[in-house]
Amino acid sequence: MKIHHQGSIFKPPITSSSSPSPLFQSQKTHDDSPLPLPLRVADILLFDDKDDDVLDELLMMGGEGRCRGWQRSSSCYPPHRIAARWISGLRRSKVKESNKDELGGDGIVQVRRSMKGLNEQDSRNSASEITVSEQCNREATVNLGVGCCLLHLIAASKNELDKMLEMRMQMEKLLENVREELRKKDGLSKPSNVCAYSTTHIVDGPDFETQLSPQIFTSSYVLPGSSAITVCDHSLRWETPMQEECSEGMDKLEAELEVELERLQLHLDTVDNSVKCPQKKGRWVTNEDIATSKSQTGSSGEVVAFVFEDQAAGSEEHRGVPPRELEQRLHELLESRQQEHIRELEAKLECLEHKLREKEMEVSWWKDTARLISRHLPGSSKFSSHHLAKLLNFQQSNPPEQPNIVAIKSSQRVLFTFCLVAEKIYRDKTHQRYKNNKAMAEGGSGSEFTLDSIRKSLIRQEDTIVFCLMERARFPMNSALYNQSLDLVPGFSGPLVDFIVQETEAVQAKVGVVYKNNKAMAEGGSGSEFTLDSIRKSLIRQEDTIVFCLMERARFPMNSALYNQSLDLVPGFSGPLVDFIVQETEAVQAKAGRYVNPEENPFFPDNLPPSLVPNYNYSQVLHPGGASININKAIWDMYLNQLLPLFVVAGDDGDYASTAASDLSCLQALSRRIHYGKFVAEIKFRDAPHDYEPPIRAKDADELMKLLTDERVEKMVKKRVEKKAIVFGQDVSGSNNTDNKHYKVDPSVVARLYDEWVIPLTKRVEVEYLIRRLN
């Protein structure tokens, strides 16, 4: 058996105690004290004689450094020391024997010397009895094997003992730390900053296993200055000499930590186990972390604790989180979640509001449609209600939908219902206003069929009759108009007046009303006295017509549908109803020769039928170049869009034909007056052609405007028409009471009409006429 010197594994023994062997350098305990490796059989076998002292030293140190229970004495050597001595002796004897074989020396002496290594005292007494033989050598070899086995067992036991010693040292250190912690807690009354599910270290054979076991361990601690988590095990109390003190402290600390853990667990359950506090730095400790910190294996990475770390970087001190701070953190967490929830709800609300606005617009559209239908179709009020009810039923017949959609639909229904009510209120109010308006115009309620109301209506008709007579008085008898034998209209047998009345009534019949306005068809300028003064007299007379026409129109409410572009109320006619009435009336009047009169200008000159009556010999005073000037479009726009809203009440009474006829009277009166500017301009030009010719040639409209303007006359005109509105418009009663300040048309509106539109438009006609005067 050859023993090799395994220098590559075991370095030569140390020569100085201050210089530890590499073996000692390889391992250190936590307190930096060298922790030698367990003594191995190979180490012992490798020792030479000369290493005896070193071996002794090694064994001594091992005993002192790791096994305090072992005392060195001559009578009580440790087993491994005896084995080492014995093996060393055997080895020396073998070497001597081999030397003797080679050199021829005495083998007895060699054996004796070898036995000296085992027991020097006994070897001297028995030396003479021992016989050297081959058999003895074999026995020694067997003994050597047995000894090796024995040494191996000893070495294994030694390792186990070393481990136990190491554990004991760690536990002592742990208990020391726990005591320190308890002292700190007593002083500061702060809970631990480690909230942990407990881990269990179960001693199972030579190795420790780390497992989750809340039943046994309920507390974990982070050692100061270390990230490792060490577990305090009640089952190890027997190892500490201060077990009672430790038990009390542990119980107290454990109770406190349990309370804190329960509180934290409660909050965590309330919030969410998966939510981590974003504001505070912390980390979830897994048993992998624990295993890593303890240099142990077999971890599963399961989360066992959440450790709040101090905000201060590098802070090594881990103290308990104050309850207030813990509550604050949880409060912040809850608050952030609530704010997030509020934001979600706000977004949903905004979406709903947007949808609601859309539905409101839809409802508004339906409301307008229903209102128009209710006004313009027979039985309309029933229709609107029925139609909307049908709509509501349609809404209700929809299949069940999601709650938010149902809410929108129900709000729609509420809005529809509201629209129905609003529509009714609106109609009632309009009707009441119309009745009031009629009462104001007629001096009575009008709608009541009583003697009083009929008398009031008769009083109103007095105005019309008086005005009509005044209008008729402008013309001479004109007997031919009534002559039975003069068939003035080809194809029509009868007086001309019959033809005109029939045709006009036919137009009115088309729109369902009787033509009531007996206004003279045409004024028919006499032309006999064509002077500026006579022209101005005509203008003054026309003021009466205009004021009276406005008062007639004021009897009706606005009747907006009459002017609605999109309501094609007459089958086969595209456009507002007022257009139809005016066009048809002008056509009849054209047949009667109205527009042969140079004073008259149609609003719809296109496609007018020719005059069917013999041409009246109107004096042709106008210059042909300016005779065809027609600004009725501007007059139409001014009347409908600006003037009308100033003196009629809002509302709709459905009497569109009468209203349209009244409008036509106003429009024709205004058009006549304004286009009278042609005559005014002609006479002014004739009176002072030298003044007008230069600006006319220069087409200097501004200069012409200056020349023709007479501000004094304009002022008188405005003052006069206001007075006429006061006189004509007031209610005339039998008494002398003049307190009644109700006018059929606001006098200021009439003055404004002249100031803003009639006079300026008249002068515009004058300028345009003059511009063309020299053509």
Ligand X SMILES: C=C(O[C@@H]1C=C(C(=O)O)C=C[C@H]1O)C(=O)O
Binding residues (CB under 6 A) for ligand X: these are 536, 680, 708-710, 713-714, 717, 759, 762-763
Instruction: Rank residues 504 and 538 by Cβ distance to ligand X and give the closer one.
Output: 538
Instruction: Rank residues 285 and 683 by Cβ distance to ligand X and give the closer one.
Output: 683
CB 224 within 8 A of CB 316: yes
Chain centroid to CA 233? 57
Q: Which two tokens stand for residue 59?
A: 């064994």
Q: Which residues of 240-256 are buried (b: 16+ CB within 10 A; e: fewer)?
A: beeeeebeebbeebbeb
Give the H/E segment covering residue 120: helix 120-126
Measured from the CB of residue 525, what is the shortest distance to ligand X in angstroms? 15
CA distance 554 to 653: 13
DSSP letter assigned to residue 568 = -
Instruction: Rank residues 88 and 762 by Cβ distance to ligand X and give the closer one.
Output: 762
CB 656 within 8 A of CB 737: no
C-alpha torsion angle, residues 571, 573, 577, 579 (rounded to 10): -160
Percent composition of the chain: helix, strand, coil (DSSP 3-state, to 5): 60, 5, 35
CB 497 within 8 A of CB 472: no
Measured from the CB of residue 694, what is the shortest distance to ligand X in angstroms? 19
Give the H/E segment covering residue 124: helix 120-126
DSSP 3-state of 199: strand
Instruction: Rank residues 483 and 709 by Cβ distance to ligand X and give the closer one.
Output: 709
CA distance 90 to 742: 151
Measured from the CB of residue 684, what is the shortest distance to ligand X in angstroms? 7
Measured from the CB of residue 709, what is the shortest distance to ligand X in angstroms? 4
Measured from the CB of residue 710, what is the shortest distance to ligand X in angstroms? 4
Instruction: Rank residues 561 and 759 by Cβ distance to ligand X and give the closer one.
Output: 759
DSSP 3-state of 677: helix
Instruction: Rank residues 21 and 762 by Cβ distance to ligand X and give the closer one.
Output: 762
Instruction: Rank residues 303 and 705 by Cβ distance to ligand X and give the closer one.
Output: 705
Instruction: Rank residues 191 and 677 by Cβ distance to ligand X and give the closer one.
Output: 677
Measured from the CB of residue 369, what is the shortest distance to ligand X in angstroms? 45
Instruction: Rank residues 499 and 639 by Cβ distance to ligand X and give the closer one.
Output: 639
Measured from the CB of residue 722, what is the shortest distance to ligand X in angstroms? 14
Phi and psi, residue 320, nearest 5°: -70, 150
Measured from the CB of residue 633, what is the shortest distance to ligand X in angstroms? 19
CA distance 333 to 278: 8
CA distance 750 to 323: 86
C-alpha torsion angle, residues 502, 504, 506, 508 (rounded to 10): -140
CB 329 within 8 A of CB 277: yes
Instruction: Rank residues 201 and 684 by Cβ distance to ligand X and give the closer one.
Output: 684
Measured from the CB of residue 771, what is the shortest distance to ligand X in angstroms? 16
DSSP 3-state of 119: coil
Beta-bridged to residue 222, according to DSSP, are 229
Measured from the CB of residue 714, what is the shortest distance to ligand X in angstroms? 4
**CB 536: neighbour CB atoms within 10 A?**
17
CB-neighbour burial class of residue 83 (10 A; exposed 0-12, middle 13-18, buried 19+): buried
CB-neighbour burial class of residue 316 (10 A; exposed 0-12, middle 13-18, buried 19+): exposed
**CB 405: neighbour CB atoms within 10 A?**
13
Measured from the CB of residue 536, what is the shortest distance to ligand X in angstroms? 5
Instruction: Rank residues 291 and 681 by Cβ distance to ligand X and give the closer one.
Output: 681
- Residue 250, amino acid: M
CA distance 63 to 54: 14
DSSP letter assigned to residue 718 = H
Measured from the CB of residue 505, what is the shortest distance to ligand X in angstroms? 35
DSSP letter assigned to residue 203 = E
Measured from the CB of residue 754, what is the shortest distance to ligand X in angstroms? 7
Q: How far is CA 657 from CA 503, 507, 516, 719, in A?
A: 15, 10, 10, 33
Q: How far is CA 508 from CA 443, 551, 562, 563, 640, in A?
A: 26, 21, 15, 17, 21
- Residue 89, amino acid: G
Instruction: Rank residues 355 and 536 by Cβ distance to ligand X and give the closer one.
Output: 536
Measured from the CB of residue 586, what is the shortest distance to ligand X in angstroms? 25
Residue with tokens 């491994």: 80
CB 178 within 8 A of CB 221: yes
Instruction: Rank residues 11 and 715 by Cβ distance to ligand X and give the closer one.
Output: 715
CB 252 within 8 A of CB 245: no
Instruction: Rank residues 227 and 709 by Cβ distance to ligand X and give the closer one.
Output: 709
In the chain, the largest separation of any two C-alpha atoms, in whole Å, equals 196
CA distance 438 to 447: 8
Instruction: Rank residues 540 and 726 by Cβ distance to ligand X and give the closer one.
Output: 540
Instruction: Rank residues 536 and 541 by Cβ distance to ligand X and give the closer one.
Output: 536
